[in-house]
Amino acid sequence: MHKKIRHTDIQDQHADIMIRDLHKSFGANSVLKGVNLDVFRGENVVVLGRSGTGKSVLIKIIAGLLKPDSGTVIVLDKNVPELDDKELLQLRLKIGFSFQSSALYDSMTVKENLEFPLLRNSRNLTKAAINTHVEEALDAVGLQQTIHQYPSELSGGQRKRIGIARTLIMRPLIMLYDEPTAGLDPVTSVEINNLINEVQERYNTSSIIITHDLTCAKATGDRVAILLDGSFIRTGRFEEVFATRDERITSFYEYNFID
């Protein structure tokens, strides 16, 4: 089901992410060519584009994992390219990064995987507090029963959920999802889409969802932005974005979307 827009006037909200005239090249390959984007507090923004269009480069720049060539990147009121290593670390603690591969440690149980970021970044927590955080994160993704299992014992959808739980355990203000439904069957994809919306509602996260899956975009996005040839060519509600005769957009819709 397509979720409704949460804000009647989204521009009145505070922008947790503000990007202006962002450029990034790798050698002679110019990937981002003047990208502009706002993500407002509590909003899900879907970035749509085919493979190789720079979607993942964009979120790596937002997280400070890559340096832009030029442009402004403001995240939670911090100018990301100007932050030193210590300041970047502090900012990243407020950003949840859901990797396409889920990035779980195979040698650790689900409980140990979830404990890891807490032990690494919140050394003053008691064992009881850590257990509470783990239980709350598992409850948020509906997988309390997997706490003593290993990643190899989980389905692809379950691993994806546990990967999201591990990011939620740090109570991030921003969530960055990289191809959250990639490689999943249609039923499991719907479950992940619902989970993304539940995370938004439960934690009031500001999120960017990188995908080429239009079903995911329609289900999760308050707004959709199409990235093509290094810049956003159209941004708005799902129906608004695809209400066009622009063949660059209609061909993308016709190739990908099943209603």
- pLDDT tens profile 146-178: 999 999 999 988 999 999 999 999 999 999 999
DSSP state letters, 138-192: HHHHT-GGGTT--GGGS-HHHHHHHHHHHHHTT--SEEEEESTTTT--HHHHHHH
User: What pLDDT band is residue 58 in, cutting at 50, 70 and 90?
Assistant: very high
DSSP designation for 99: -
Final residue of a structural domain among 117, 152, 171 = 171
| Residue 10 pLDDT > 80 | no
pLDDT at 4: 45
| Residues 10 and 116 placed together within one structural domain of the fold | no
In angstroms, the CA 176 to CA 98 distance is 6
**Inter-helix orientation angle 156-168/186-203, to 10°:** 10
Task: Say whether pLDDT at 11 is over 70.
Answer: no
At which of 134, 150, 171 does a domain end?
A: 171
Point out which residues pair with 207 in neighbouring strands.
Answer: 44, 175
Closest to 80 (Cα-Cα) out of 16, 167, 11, 166: 16
50 shares its domain with 135: no
Q: Are residues 127 and 248 in the same domain?
A: no
What angle in degrees, to the nearest 10, is found between the helix axes of 127-141 and 110-121?
Answer: 130
The predicted model scores a pTM of 0.89
Nearest 5°: the CA angle 124, 129, 134 is 115
Percent of the chain past pLDDT 70, that is, above it, reads: 93
**226-256 pLDDT, tens digit each:** 999 899 999 999 999 999 988 888 877 776 6
Average pLDDT over residues 94-98: 91
> Quick check: 46 pLDDT over 80?
yes
Q: In this model, does residue 8 exceed pLDDT 50?
A: no
Whole-number mean pLDDT of the chain? 89
Q: What is the pLDDT, as a whole number, of residue 49?
A: 84
- State the pLDDT at residue 255: 63
Number of domains in the chain: 2
Provide the residue range defining the domain that includes 130.
95-171
- 72 and 121 share one domain: no
Residue appearing with tokens 């739980």:
165
